[in-house]
Chains A and B, each alone.
Chain A
Amino acid sequence: MSILELNDLSFSYKTDEEETIGVKNINLTVEKGEFIVLLGHNGCGKSTLAKLLNGLLLPDEGTVSVDGFLTSDESNIYKIRSKVGMVFQNPDNQMVASIIEDDVAFGPENLGVERSEIVKRVEWALEAVGMSAYRKGTPFKLSGGQKQRIAIASVLAMKPDVLILDESTAMLDPQGREEVLSVVKKLNADGMTVILITHYMDEATDADRIVVMNAGQIEATGTPKEIFSDKELIDRCRLHPPVCCGVMHKLSALGFPVEPVLTDEEAVEVLCRLR
Chain B
Amino acid sequence: MRNVAFGQYYPTDSPIHKLDPRTKLFAGAISIAAAFVADSYWAYLACYAFLFIVILVSKIPVFQVLKTVKSIFAIILISVILNVFFHDEGKVLWAWWKIKITVGGLLYSGQIILRLMFLVLSTSLITLTSTPTELTDGLERFLTPLKYLRFPVHDVAIIMSIALRFIPTLMEETDKITMAQKARGAKFDVGGPLARAKALLPVLIPLFVSAFRRADELAFALDARCYNATEARTKMKVLRFGWRDLTATLCLALFLTVVIFLRLGFFGLL
State whether the Cβ of B269 lies closer than 8 Å to any Cβ in chain A.
no
Number of A-B contacts (CB under 8 A): 109
User: A92 contacts which of B3, B158, B169 (Cβ < 8 Å)?
Assistant: B169
Q: Is the CB of B221 within 8 A of A78?
A: no
Collect the chain A residues with CB atoms within 8 Å of residue B232's CB. Answer: 112
Given the known interface contacts A155-B225, A158-B225, the answer about A109 and B220 at a Cβ–Cβ threshold of 8 Å is: no
Q: Is the CB of B224 within 8 A of A112?
A: no
Interface flags for A100-113 (1: CB within 8 Å of B; 0: not) read 01100111111111
**Residue of A with least CB distance to B218:** A93
State whether the Cβ of A143 lies closer than 8 Å to any Cβ in chain B.
no
Give CA–CA (A110, B155) in the complex, Å: 12
Q: Is the CB of A93 within 8 A of B214?
A: yes
Minimum CB–CB distance from B13 to chain A (whole Å) comes to 14
Q: Is the CB of A112 within 8 A of B158?
A: no
For residues 94 through 136 of chain A, which have their beta carbon under 8 Å from a beta carbon of chain B? 94-99, 101-102, 105-115, 118-119, 122
User: A106 contacts which of B4, B168, B225, B230 (Cβ < 8 Å)?
Assistant: B225
Give CA–CA (A119, B158) in the complex, Å: 20
**Residue of A with least CB distance to B238:** A115
User: B234 contacts which of A94, A98, A118 (Cβ < 8 Å)?
Assistant: A118
Collect the chain B residues with CB atoms within 8 Å of residue A85's CB. Answer: 224
Give CA–CA (A92, B217) in the complex, Å: 10
Minimum CB–CB distance from A69 to chain B (whole Å) comes to 14
Minimum CB–CB distance from B2 to chain A (whole Å) comes to 8
Interface flags for B208-225 (1: CB within 8 Å of A; 0: not) read 000000100110111111
Q: Is the CB of A115 within 8 A of B234?
A: yes
Give CA–CA (A238, B4) in the complex, Å: 43
Interface residues of B (CB under 8 A from A): 2-6, 131-133, 158, 161-162, 164-165, 168-169, 214, 217-218, 220-230, 232-238
What are 13 sample pairs from A and B whose C-beta atoms fall under 8 A apart?
A: A82-B229, A88-B220, A93-B221, A96-B222, A99-B5, A102-B133, A110-B229, A111-B229, A112-B230, A112-B233, A118-B234, A119-B236, A122-B236
Interface residues of A (CB under 8 A from B): 51, 54, 56, 78, 81-82, 85-86, 88-90, 92-99, 101-102, 105-115, 118-119, 122, 138, 140-141, 154-155, 158
Beyond known contacts A98-B131, A108-B236: 15 more, CB 8 A cutoff? A78-B226, A78-B229, A82-B229, A88-B217, A88-B221, A93-B217, A96-B161, A98-B165, A101-B236, A109-B235, A110-B226, A110-B233, A122-B236, A155-B225, A158-B226
